[in-house]
A and B are shown apart, each in its own frame.
Chain A
Amino acid sequence: MKKIKKYKRFERFWHWGQAALILFLAVTGFEVHDSIHIFGFEKAVMFHRYAAYALLLLIGLAIFWHFTTDEWRNYIPTLKNIRAQLRYYTVGMFRNEPHPTLHGRWQKLNPLQIFTYLAFKILIVPIVVLSGLLYMFHKTINANDVVIISDIDLSVIAAWHTFGAFILVAFIILHVYMTTTGDRPTSNIRAMVTGYEELETKSDESEDETPSEPKAEVIATEGGEL
């Protein structure tokens, strides 16, 4: 077994920060929707807005990070191995077959993950963020104390925002479940916490996949950075 550093420090911060914010936004958002009652409507609205601004900041940082580190390449969609991946989740997994796609430094995601996360990034998040911004700035008061009201019906904005929220909740459920499909049920979560993933002993292959990476990135010991 070899340990490789799969997730960088910022990546893990971004992932867990985003996870916490989305969960908090879901709780407060569904309270505004009058589905649950925890903080009370007024506080729920306030917290939802603060968390929304924090998430916008985080998304901004993440976009910057993706382009400055070339990480966006992880999300280039491919049909290669997609059938094998589908077969693995529906059949192979139950027969103790190995993962059909190997993860390495530059191939973090399997083809199904690429499509899922790409959709998350360019469809789901924009739907929720844009409808959320429209929701927030639906009515405003200008410098002359005159109230300006948007022409877009609030029910349409709210419907898109709620739609995005439902998709996100379903995504999180599925996403959390899928973390248990690693080598061991906890190995994926462990990787997202520590940054390191144990690869099955095919070190040659994994290094073949990451020819540009310096060997120092592959550390075989328990220690290392947080």
Chain B
Amino acid sequence: MSISDHKQKLYLLLILVVTALVIAIIQMNYRQPEPNLALEELRIRYAKVPKPPVDHSKFPELDRMFTTPQEVTEACISCHNERHNEVMESNHWNWERISYIEGRGIHALGKRNALNNYCISVAGNEVACAKCHTGFGLNSVEDFNFMDPTNVDCLSCHDNSEEYIKGSGSAGFPAEGVDLTAVAKSVGRPIISNCGTCHFYGGGGNNVKHGDLEEALYSADRELDVHMAVTGLNMSCVDCHTAENHQIKGKMYSVSSENVNRLFCEDCHTNTPHLSEMLNIHGARVSCQTCHIPTYAKENPTKLTWKWSDAGMLENGDPYEVDDSTGQHTYLSIKGSFEWGSDLVPEYVWFNGKAQHYLLGDKVDTTAGPVQVNKLLGSHEDPNSKIVPVKVHRGDQIFDTEYLTLIQPKLYGEAVGDSAYWQDFDWSTAAEAGMREVGLPYSGKHTFIETEMYWPINHMVAPATGALQCQDCHTRNDGRLQNLTGFYIPGRDRNHFLDSFGNWLILLTVFGVMIHGSLRIVTHIRSEKDLEMTHYKDFDDEEDQKI
């Protein structure tokens, strides 16, 4: 037998041998996919709870009776003899920072001159605002001595006893009955409650302002916040919001314009945190928060709208309130009407880290839609912009129809007749008093104008298993990014002309093929019939002829 007779068998053998070899090579080179080591390193690093090098309860300097909080600060400064200077350079202390603002140049910007969409502004209302804001004796920004270090409130950030409470309407002084000695002995690295006391309750209640910062973070589970989960890493605010010389990293864009000293997920996670290259590439234009914070206000509701124009309704001359079934105010005579929401899908915007703010005295373009209290800058054309999730707070505010400026009303007052709106319910006198306070004119004529404010969502990060999936954005209808247009997202966008061209092309091809095919079938059948009939006809004719 020659080789060619066995050719088929040889081929078969060759194929089998090659296949076996390929499988063997793949098997030998197979490695278990590596775990995400970067994430493991972070887990190990944050599993260790830092132990303070000193125990303040053992210092004799603190083992005494303190009658005023300033005495505590003096005791702090006696050892930490430069720290107060750092605090006094911070925006927590100054209520403003010097920024370069696009279109404005170098400008002081902060709560002194920027408005927000909730209680509008601090001017004239400091006594109430100082419940949170740093400093003792803050009766007004104008009169406050920003150079006096004894007014620095060290305890508000460093109390670890959770017993230090600032009084309501007491200009930044602690509430009555706080044991200053016990509190002073407890001091240490800030814990969640030091930040949370203020940042969770901004706007007058839990989760009112941010939507992603609230008291549920004191006892979060992994689903609520994967970083701060008490059953998980149990991280505190300052683990991420680190500070050098009391300049704390990461800032809110309600009062910040510049793209400096920001805090990024990438700072810990690098900008290639995924095992999947495809996901890492997305990091070029999509912020981590977009996919990893699919919803906010997960536990408790947040305030979504605030209509100041509804304020002032009274029952029998007295202010009243209306609550919804969950106990949230939906109407307050002193503030107006509100809408709340929980477990919300964020809105999405392009953001490059810079923002513009409505500052007291700015003229309003009444034709440009709602006033943008803090316009986040960025676009898909700007390579430094990323898509970020935001809570958009919508409302209306009192507005001077002659000078075209938003009005800073005086809200808080001690007694009736103080021209404070919350006492007198008279917009005109409140507006006049408030504008006098900030040194701006008031024409005497006012109305209400719609306003919008943006709150980037950065907290309440879900575990990876809860992150958005591809089709949440890559879909034709109702994707998460449906409202961000002008750029191409595969699966969402299409060239409509090209699509209809393609559909017609396929349709016409199928149609043409069907026509051609049926014609062939018809002519084929007819020709066979013709043949049959011709045969008989011929036969008959011959018969006829023969006959």
Interface of A toward B, CB cutoff 8 Å: 32-34, 40-42, 45, 89, 93-96, 139-141, 145, 147, 149, 153-155, 158-159, 162-163, 165-167, 169-170, 173-174, 177, 180, 225-226
> Which listed residue, B492, B501, B517, touches A34 by the CB 8 Å rule?
B492
Contact A33 B506 (CB under 8 A): no
Instruction: Tell whether B245 is near chain A: CB-to-CB under 8 Å.
Output: no
Instruction: Tell whether B527 is near chain A: CB-to-CB under 8 Å.
Output: yes
Contact B495 A94 (CB under 8 A): no
Residues of chain B lying within 8 A (CB to CB) of residue A170: 505-506, 509
One of B121-129, B279-287, B338-346 at the interface: B279-287
Interface residues of B in 478-508 (CB under 8 A from A): 487-488, 490-495, 498-499, 501-502, 505-506
> Which listed residue, B272, B471, B492, B495, touches A141 by the CB 8 Å rule?
B272
Contact A174 B509 (CB under 8 A): yes
Instruction: Tell whether B523 is near chain A: CB-to-CB under 8 Å.
Output: yes
> Which listed residue, A34, A173, A226, touches B476 by the CB 8 Å rule?
A34
Contact A173 B502 (CB under 8 A): no
Instruction: Tell whether B139 is near chain A: CB-to-CB under 8 Å.
Output: no
Contact A145 B506 (CB under 8 A): no
Residue of B nearest to A159 (CB): B495
Contact B281 A141 (CB under 8 A): yes
A34-B474, A155-B495, A180-B517 in contact; A42/B271 too (CB < 8 A)? no
Contact A41 B470 (CB under 8 A): yes
Residues of chain A lying within 8 A (CB to CB) of residue B491: 32-34, 41
Residues of chain A lying within 8 A (CB to CB) of residue B506: 166, 169-170, 173
Residue of A nearest to B514 (CB): A177
13 pairs from A and B in contact (CB 8 Å cutoff): A34-B492, A41-B471, A94-B519, A140-B281, A141-B272, A145-B270, A147-B271, A155-B493, A158-B490, A167-B505, A173-B506, A174-B509, A226-B8
Rounded to whole angstroms, the CA-CA distance of A165 and B476 in the bound complex is 19
Query: Quick one: which of A158, A170, A177 has the most chain B CB within 10 A?
Result: A170
Contact B510 A141 (CB under 8 A): no
Contact A177 B513 (CB under 8 A): yes
**Interface 1/0 per residue, B267-297 and A, CB below 8 Å:** 0001110000110110111000000000000
Contact A163 B498 (CB under 8 A): yes
> Which listed residue, B284, B495, B524, touches A139 by the CB 8 Å rule?
B284
Contact B488 A154 (CB under 8 A): yes
**Interface 1/0 per residue, B509-547 and A, CB below 8 Å:** 110110011011001100100000000000000000000
Residue of B nearest to A138 (CB): B281
Residues of chain B lying within 8 A (CB to CB) of residue A158: 488, 490, 493, 495
Contact A32 B490 (CB under 8 A): yes
Cβ of B305 to closest chain A Cβ, rounded Å = 34
Instruction: Tell whether B475 is near chain A: CB-to-CB under 8 Å.
Output: yes
Interface size of B by CB at 8 A reads 44
Cβ of B212 to closest chain A Cβ, rounded Å = 26
Cβ of A177 to closest chain B Cβ, rounded Å = 4
Residues of chain A lying within 8 A (CB to CB) of residue B501: 163, 166
Rounded to whole angstroms, the CA-CA distance of A15 and B390 in the bound complex is 52
Instruction: Tell whether B219 is near chain A: CB-to-CB under 8 Å.
Output: no
Rounded to whole angstroms, the CA-CA distance of A42 and B277 in the bound complex is 13
Residues of chain B lying within 8 A (CB to CB) of residue A141: 271-272, 277, 280-281, 284
Residues of chain A lying within 8 A (CB to CB) of residue B493: 155, 158
Cβ of A184 to closest chain B Cβ, rounded Å = 12
Instruction: Tell whether B383 is near chain A: CB-to-CB under 8 Å.
Output: yes
Interface of B toward A, CB cutoff 8 Å: 7-8, 270-272, 277-278, 280-281, 283-285, 383, 469-471, 474-476, 487-488, 490-495, 498-499, 501-502, 505-506, 509-510, 512-513, 516-517, 519-520, 523-524, 527
Leading 9 A-B pairs by shortest Cβ distance:
A166-B502, A147-B284, A155-B488, A94-B523, A154-B488, A177-B513, A41-B470, A41-B471, A34-B476
A34-B476, A40-B471, A95-B523 in contact; A162/B488 too (CB < 8 A)? no
Rounded to whole angstroms, the CA-CA distance of A111 and B86 in the bound complex is 85
A42-B470, A147-B271 in contact; A163/B502 too (CB < 8 A)? yes
Cβ of A182 to closest chain B Cβ, rounded Å = 12
Contact B527 A149 (CB under 8 A): no
Cβ of B364 to closest chain A Cβ, rounded Å = 36
Q: A41-B491, A226-B8 are in contact. List 20 more A-B contacts (CB 8 A).
A: A32-B491, A34-B491, A34-B492, A42-B471, A45-B278, A45-B470, A45-B490, A95-B523, A141-B277, A141-B281, A145-B270, A158-B490, A159-B498, A162-B498, A163-B498, A166-B498, A169-B502, A170-B505, A173-B510, A173-B513
Residues of chain A lying within 8 A (CB to CB) of residue B281: 139-141, 147
Contact B284 A96 (CB under 8 A): no
Residues of chain A lying within 8 A (CB to CB) of residue B509: 170, 173-174
Residues of chain A lying within 8 A (CB to CB) of residue B272: 141, 145
Residues of chain B lying within 8 A (CB to CB) of residue A32: 474, 490-491
Rounded to whole angstroms, the CA-CA distance of A96 and B527 in the bound complex is 8
Cβ of A223 to closest chain B Cβ, rounded Å = 10
> Which listed residue, B8, B469, B495, B516, touches A162 by the CB 8 Å rule?
B495
Residues of chain A lying within 8 A (CB to CB) of residue B502: 162-163, 165-166, 169
Residues of chain B lying within 8 A (CB to CB) of residue A155: 487-488, 493, 495
Cβ of B48 to closest chain A Cβ, rounded Å = 27
A93-B520, A96-B527 in contact; A149/B505 too (CB < 8 A)? no
Residue of A nearest to B473 (CB): A41
Residues of chain B lying within 8 A (CB to CB) of residue A154: 487-488, 490
Cβ of A152 to closest chain B Cβ, rounded Å = 11
Query: Quick one: which of A40, A155, A225 has the most chain B CB within 10 A?
Result: A155
Rounded to whole angstroms, the CA-CA distance of A165 and B502 in the bound complex is 9
Residues of chain A lying within 8 A (CB to CB) of residue B470: 40-42, 45
Residue of A nearest to B475 (CB): A34
Cβ of B534 to closest chain A Cβ, rounded Å = 13
> Which listed residue, B383, B494, B517, touches A33 by the CB 8 Å rule?
B494
Residues of chain B lying within 8 A (CB to CB) of residue A226: 8
Cβ of B3 to closest chain A Cβ, rounded Å = 15
Residue of B nearest to A156 (CB): B488
Residues of chain B lying within 8 A (CB to CB) of residue A145: 270-272
Residues of chain A lying within 8 A (CB to CB) of residue B520: 93-94
> Which listed residue, B283, B475, B519, touches A41 by the CB 8 Å rule?
B475
Residue of B nearest to A30 (CB): B502
Residues of chain B lying within 8 A (CB to CB) of residue A173: 506, 509-510, 513
Cβ of A27 to closest chain B Cβ, rounded Å = 14
Residues of chain B lying within 8 A (CB to CB) of residue A163: 498, 501-502
Rounded to whole angstroms, the CA-CA distance of A94 and B524 in the bound complex is 7
Cβ of A158 to closest chain B Cβ, rounded Å = 6
